[in-house]
């Protein structure tokens, strides 16, 4: 009996569908108070006067917290460079000025509006190019010349490489900010638990890191803080950094009463980080027969005023911007730049989508210039095992399946005869009656995505498995901190335990996502959780089984998986073995463009992903379809507008995520299983990669349909019409 490879129903599915699942906003505790945050809502200012006295006297108000109340007023996942509550200088609209705690939500809201703040507005820098100009005002004291991070990568000699080039393509690309748009906005409740720990129940991606950051800010020993994740309504990287956790903990700790908060959607839109807008200037050269000889890329990422995960996102973008290709000569300069825009950070793909957008646009343009089919051009250039990345190290894990994912994707899409017949014999020829302004096009792109934190960060995960029973194992209890953000991580935990213990999955009980009951497992991010769960739960289950055989009752074992070490980029040339593993992906798309209105409809997507080993194929298809919907939003409809640091689109009425009528009529998920030699059972990791190739594949399809290249996302109707006019 094997449970790996079977599409077992999600353990959390029933409760989520029936409404029984408790999300942070659903939890109510006796004697609970309510919190409201006063956000700065201006991008750059000095606070001249902050007067909370009227708010403090308002009905029902228990306390107003400001920067003065914060024991250690700083937070940050990479650097402690952001204040929890703004002290003196406001650097973006989502800065928290004060937190009001009252008996009811209405009272807290009312009192918040009574706080008097006198600001002196400061000049706003809203374009990273302006921030980098010699003499520009420095926004954050840590970041000289507003450059938070510069990553140079040098391989070979691009000047000599371009001498061999017979065809050169040069372009400047721009990719926009993106809102995570998870179902539940930031919410949570904090209280003192039976053991006297300040306890925060909120949605996040890494319980133990949240615990560390809360403890740091409150100046408490880590053991005095507990973090629990109830049901989580999506995360996508948007919950990697702190939102409500520290302020809730502070209030509960000081007031010794439960404190609850729910952000409105508008508060969520302005006050948590976004995907990094990036500008990518690319110059690539190839020989006449289609061999890449040189690539130069400059990446400028808008970091907003604080780091969050910007330096790491930049690291990924720097690697991704030369694509999954063997290029002998590479020069990359990537910059994370400080501005007064909404702070930016992790979002599914973590720099990979932006970097690959430039790389895949370059490849599709080269294919056109060379008169070589885009699939064929990729097959001539993709990395094979042993080939050197821009970092001058080979890809880890044995098998590199780029050729296979590209070929399989093309085959399943019927790329070669795509105009006449699609997959499974479904004809794609347009209906004869369709409006004459509608045109069809096809596009292709591929990508790699690293698995795990990488770049020198310590990496691993801990699990505990306890076996109960007398003669037979009657129950196995798995303790694991890994976050179930909606991707199915908890189901994977149960499947892995069941596999090792040879038990039906019903006999596995999970005690998950609580710092009080589990060891550190790292975050549900970087496509890493299935990899980490498989190693750690397998290790713990095997160790527990050994003790069971030695007659221990109950038999309990903890196992800490430690991943192979990685290097950060060498500071001078970016050399290094930066990642433990990769997944590989290719996508082909069919679009229909309305030449009159500029509407782009995604008709059909084929997505081939090498996942190493599919633990639960149905959940993988879910990840692929979800990623495609999310990437379609980024590519076409989601237009996150900021002007002078202010958000113009803080509602779903003007920030348009794809609805059910917008997503492709057809998504064919093709799951390939080439084992990674370092993965448990060969598992790689896959949650981010189906996001990555979609945008450049769509743009290539729009070009195929219309002849126009559009180098800037999203493909709003206005932008498409404009490009067609220029054509």
Interface residues with ligand MOS (CB under 6 A) are 205, 237, 240, 346-348, 350, 525-526
- Bridge partners for 201 per DSSP: 189, 228
Alpha carbon distance 727, 719 (integer Å): 12
Query: Which residue has tokens 């010349």?
Result: 145
- CA angle 573/531/403 to nearest 5° reads 65
Q: Least Å distance between CB 588 and ligand MOS?
A: 25
Burial class (CB in 10 A: 0-12, 13-18, 19+), 617: middle
CB-wise, 217 or 346, nearer to ligand MOS?
346
Token digits of residue 708: 């126009």
CB of 182 to ligand MOS, least distance (A): 11
With helix as H, strand as E and coil as C, how does 477-544 read? EEEECCCCCCCCHHHHHHHHHHHHHCCCHHHEEEEECECCCCCCCCCCCCCCHHHHHHHHHHHHHHHH
**Closer of 523 and 616 to ligand MOS (Cβ):** 523
Q: Which is nearer to ligand MOS, 522 or 696 (CB)?
A: 522
Identify the residue whose tokens are 């190839």: 286
* Nearest to ligand MOS of 50, 713 (CB atom): 713
Q: How far is the CB of 162 from ligand MOS (least distance, A)?
A: 34
Identity of the residue, 185 or 452, whose beta carbon is nearer to ligand MOS in the bound complex = 452
Q: Going by DSSP bridges, is the β-strand pair 167-175/278-286 parallel, antiparallel, or unpaired?
A: antiparallel
Residue number, 136 or 457, with CB nearest to ligand MOS: 457
Q: Which residues contact 418 (CB under 8 A, 6 or more apart)?
A: 428, 442, 588, 590
Q: Are 579 and 324 in contact (CB under 8 A)?
A: no
Closest distance between ligand MOS and the C-beta of residue 566, in Å? 15
Cα atoms in the Cβ-side hemisphere of radius 13 Å centred on 282: 30
Q: What is the nearest approach in angstroms of ligand MOS to the Cβ of residue 240?
A: 5
Sign of CA dihedral 341, 344, 347, 350: positive
Q: Measured from the CB atom, is 249 or 346 closer to ligand MOS?
A: 346
The least CB distance from residue 460 to ligand MOS, in Å, is 16
Cis-peptide into 309, omega within 30 deg: no
Structure tokens at 631: 């990437």
Looking only at the bridges linking them, the beta strands covering 96-102 and 61-65 are antiparallel
- State which residue, 211 or 364, has the beta carbon closest to ligand MOS: 211
Q: CB of 205: closest distance to ligand MOS in angstroms? A: 6
Minimum distance, C-beta of residue 352 to ligand MOS, in the bound complex (Å): 9
User: How large is the greatest C-alpha to C-alpha distance in the chain, in angstroms?
Assistant: 78
How far is CA 682 from each of CA 189, 324, 428, 530, rounded to the nearest angstrom? 40, 21, 37, 11
Cβ at position 95, least distance to ligand MOS in Å: 23
CB atoms within 10 A of CB 206: 24
- Measured from the CB atom, the residue of 182 and 561 that comes closer to ligand MOS is 182
Residue 42 gets which letter from DSSP? S
The residue whose Cβ lies closest to ligand MOS is 237
- Cβ proximity to ligand MOS: between 4 and 526 the closer is 526
Q: How far is the CB of 237 from ligand MOS (least distance, A)?
A: 3
Shortest distance (Å) from residue 235 CB to ligand MOS: 6
Beta bridge partners of 602: 591
As measured in angstroms, the least distance from the Cβ of 209 to ligand MOS is: 12
Whole-number minimum distance, CB 258 to ligand MOS, in Å? 29
Taking the least distance from each CB to ligand MOS, the nearer of 107 and 207 is 207
Assigned token pair, 614: 């599919």
Kindly report whether the peptide bond that precedes residue 554 is cis, defined as omega within 30 degrees of 0: yes
Residue length of the chain: 727
Distance CA 501, CA 690 (A): 32
Distance CA 277, CA 534 (A): 34
Q: Which is nearer to ligand MOS, 66 or 525 (CB)?
A: 525
Q: Least distance to ligand MOS from the beta carbon of 565, Å?
A: 20
Residue closer to ligand MOS, measured from CB, 544 or 694: 694
| Residue 524 to residue 452: CA distance in whole angstroms | 10
Q: What CA dihedral angle connects 197, 203, 205 and 208, to 10 degrees? A: 0
Q: Provide Rg for the chain, Cα atoms.
A: 26
Q: Which is nearer to ligand MOS, 240 or 610 (CB)?
A: 240
d(CA 361, CA 320): 13
């Amino acid at each position: 009996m094997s449970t790996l490879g079977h599409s077992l129903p999600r353990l959390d599915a029933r409760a989520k569908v029936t409404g029984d699942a408790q999300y942070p906003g659903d939890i109510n505790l006796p004697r609970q108070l309510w919190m409201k945050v006063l956000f700065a809502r201006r991008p750059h200012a000095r606070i001249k006067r902050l007067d909370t006295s009227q708010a403090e006297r308002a009905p029902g108000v228990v306390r107003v917290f400001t920067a003065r109340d914060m024991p250690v007023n700083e937070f940050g996942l990479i650097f402690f460079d952001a204040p929890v509550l703004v002290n003196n200088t406001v650097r973006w609209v989502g800065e928290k000025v004060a937190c009001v705690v009252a008996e009811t939500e209405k009272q807290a809201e009312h009192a918040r509006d009574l706080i008097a703040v006198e600001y002196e507005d400061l000049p706003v820098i809203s374009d990273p190019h302006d921030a980098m100009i010699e003499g520009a005002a420095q926004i954050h004291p840590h970041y000289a010349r507003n450059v938070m991070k510069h990553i140079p990568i040098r391989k070979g000699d691009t000047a000599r490489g371009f001498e061999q080039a017979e065809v050169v393509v040069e372009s400047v690309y721009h990719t926009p900010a993106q809102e995570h748009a998870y179902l539940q906005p930031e919410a949570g409740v904090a209280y003192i638990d039976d053991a006297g720990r300040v306890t925060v129940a909120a949605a996040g991606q890494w319980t133990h890191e949240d615990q560390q950051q809360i403890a740091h800010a409150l100046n408490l020993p880590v053991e005095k803080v507990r973090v629990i994740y109830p049901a989580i309504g999506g995360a996508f990287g948007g919950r990697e950094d702190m939102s409500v956790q520290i302020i809730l903990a502070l209030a509960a700790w000081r007031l010794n009463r439960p404190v609850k908060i729910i952000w409105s959607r508008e508060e969520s839109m302005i006050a948590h980080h976004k995907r990094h807008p990036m500008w990518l200037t690319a110059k690539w050269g190839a020989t006449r027969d289609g061999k890449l000889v040189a690539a130069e890329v400059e990446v400028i990422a808008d970091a907003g005023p604080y780091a969050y995960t910007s330096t790491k996102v930049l690291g990924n973008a720097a690697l991704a911007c030369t694509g999954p290709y063997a290029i002998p000569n590479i020069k990359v300069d990537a910059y994370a730049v400080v501005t007064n825009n909404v702070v930016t950070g992790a979002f599914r793909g973590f720099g990979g989508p932006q970097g690959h957008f430039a790389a895949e646009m370059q490849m599709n343009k080269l294919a056109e210039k060379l008169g070589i089919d885009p699939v064929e051009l990729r097959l001539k250039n993709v990395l094979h095992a042993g080939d050197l990345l821009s970092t001058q190290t080979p890809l880890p894990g044995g098998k590199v399946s780029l050729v296979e994912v590209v070929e399989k994707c093309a085959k399943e899409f019927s790329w070669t005869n795509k105009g006449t017949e699609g997959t499974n014999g479904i004809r794609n020829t347009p209906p004869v009656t369709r409006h004459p302004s509608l045109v069809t096009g096809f596009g292709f792109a591929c990508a790699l995505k690293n698995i795990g934190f990488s770049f020198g960060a310590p990496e691993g995960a801990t699990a505990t498995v306890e076996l109960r029973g007398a003669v037979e194992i009657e129950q196995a209890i798995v303790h694991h901190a890994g976050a179930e953000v909606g991707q199915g991580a908890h189901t994977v935990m149960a499947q892995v335990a069941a596999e090792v213990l040879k038990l039906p999955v019903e006999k596995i009980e999970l005690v998950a996502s609580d710092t009080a009951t589990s060891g550190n497992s790292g975050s549900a991010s970087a496509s890493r959780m299935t990899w980490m769960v498989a190693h750690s739960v397998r290790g713990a289950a095997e160790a527990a089984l050994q003790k069971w055989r030695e007659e221990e009752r109950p038999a309990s074992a903890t196992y800490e998986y430690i991943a192979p070490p990685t290097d950060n980029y060498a500071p001078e040339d970016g050399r290094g073995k930066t990642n433990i593993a990769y997944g590989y992906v290719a996508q082909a798309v069919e679009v229909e463009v309305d030449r009159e209105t500029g509407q782009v409809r995604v008709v059909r997507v084929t997505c081939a992903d090498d996942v190493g080993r599919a633990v639960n194929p149905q959940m993988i298809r879910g990840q692929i379809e979800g990623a495609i919907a999310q990437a379609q939003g980024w590519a076409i409809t989601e237009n996150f507008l900021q002007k002078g640091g202010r958000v113009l689109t803080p509602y779903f009425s003007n920030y348009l995520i794809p609805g059910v009528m917008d997503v492709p009529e057809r998504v064919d998920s093709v799951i390939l299983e080439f084992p990674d030699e370092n993965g448990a059972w060969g598992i790689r990791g896959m949650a981010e990669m189906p996001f990555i190739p979609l945008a450049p594949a769509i743009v290539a399809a729009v070009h195929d349909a219309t002849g126009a290249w559009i180098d800037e996302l999203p493909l709003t109707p206005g932008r498409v019409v404009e490009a067609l006019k220029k054509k």
